Amino acid sequence: MPKNLYSDIYHILKGEIDSNVYPPKTILPGEEDLSQRFSVTRNTIRRALKKLQSDGLVYTVKGRGVVVLEPIVDNRVIFSAANHYGFQDLMSFPQNKFIKKLDTKVLEFKTIEIDDQLSKHTSFSIGDMAYYIERLRLVNGKAMAIDTSYFRQENMPNLTIENAQDSIYQYIRDEKLFKSAAARSVATVETVTQKEADVLALKEANCVGALKKYVYTDLGNLFECTETKYVPDHFSLVGFESY
């Protein structure tokens, strides 16, 4: 049996949780059993379980094992500030089963040099070359969010508009460029701009939710600064903390 990546194992176990193979309040098989099932190390299993826990699907109880948690009902799109899988990760939340289709439209893609003003905005160094990318995010055909991103060019010199259209994070993983290790996020509510009013399905709303994220490689290098503006009454920003 070919070895599975932890992300593959995560998706398999998540599917089994969603389909009630492991219903709420049951205990998942132990690390040893799972490592034998998937022909991987226990460390790989731990990474998959950690991802399930960060999504709020399971929790490790000392002395008992990994427990499947009861789901929370929410009629809005659930997303996490800790997401490092990209836009398609919205489909990973059980509460988002109503999402039938996710689309991305690249509005702008160009290479720029970081000046003093952009350095203050992105925390990149003055003189750095970066990709400037604007992407409109559509959920079930409706424009629900717009991303404005800056990516350091030195970290991904061959990035294309096609990669931006599909998934930049998937491109990073496929090309084995580096590992995303950490992120710092800031969430606010802001007055809507004319551009946002023109492209987003805001209806009568005069504000947008805003999430600004700084993402680091496993070497401590800041490689991304992205600000997402989203329709506030259609999204729920969630976090999961263990005590």
Indicate which CATH number applies to the domain containing 194.
3.40.1410.10
- Kindly state the average pLDDT of the residues 134-160: 94
| pLDDT at res. 240 | 60
Query: Which stretch of 20-29, 62-71, 109-118, 141-150 has the lowest confidence by average pLDDT?
Result: 62-71
Residues 47 and 87 in one domain: no
Task: Report the chain's C-alpha Rg in angstroms.
Answer: 19
Are the CB atoms for 138 and 144 separated by under 8 Å?
yes
Q: Are 35 and 71 in contact (CB under 8 A)?
A: no
- Which of 47-61, 137-151, 163-177 comes out lowest in average pLDDT? 47-61
Q: Which domain does 199 fall in, by range?
A: 77-238
Q: What pLDDT digit, counting tens, does each position of 190-200 carry?
A: 999 999 999 99
- 172 is written with which tokens? 């990073």
pLDDT at 182: 86
Dump pLDDT digits (tens) for 150-184: 999 999 999 999 999 999 998 998 899 998 888 88
> Same domain for 10 and 56?
yes
Residue where a domain terminates, one of 49, 68, 87: 68
Q: What percent of the chain has pLDDT over 90?
A: 57
The verdict on residue 25 lying in a domain is yes
Residue 1 lies in a domain: no
The Cα 67–Cα 134 span in angstroms is 40
Mean per-residue pLDDT, 140-159: 94
Instruction: Tell which of 68, 102, 122 closes a domain.
Output: 68
Verify that 128 and 176 share a domain, yes or no: yes
- Alpha carbons 52 and 55: distance in angstroms, whole number: 5
How far apart CA 174 and CA 223 sit, in angstroms, is: 17
Spatial separation of the C-alpha atoms in residues 207 and 50, rounded to whole Å: 35
- Whether the per-residue pLDDT at 238 is higher than 80: the answer is no
Structural domain contains residue 222? yes
Number of domains in the chain: 2
pLDDT for 5 beyond 60:
yes
Q: Give the domain CATH number at 55.
A: 1.10.10.10
Longest dimension (CA), the chain: 56
Lowest-confidence pick of 26-30, 39-43, 68-72, 116-120: 68-72
State whether 30 and 123 are in the same domain.
Answer: no
95 in any annotated domain: yes
Q: What is the pTM of this model?
A: 0.74
pLDDT at site 2: 45
**Is 243 a domain residue?**
no
Query: Which pLDDT band holds residue 137 (cuts at 50, 70, 90)?
Result: very high
Tell me, yes or no, whether 154 lies in a domain: yes
What confidence tens digit (pLDDT) does each residue in 205-226 have? Answer: 899 999 999 999 988 999 999 9
- Compute how many other C-beta atoms are within 10 angstroms of the C-beta atom of residue 26: 13
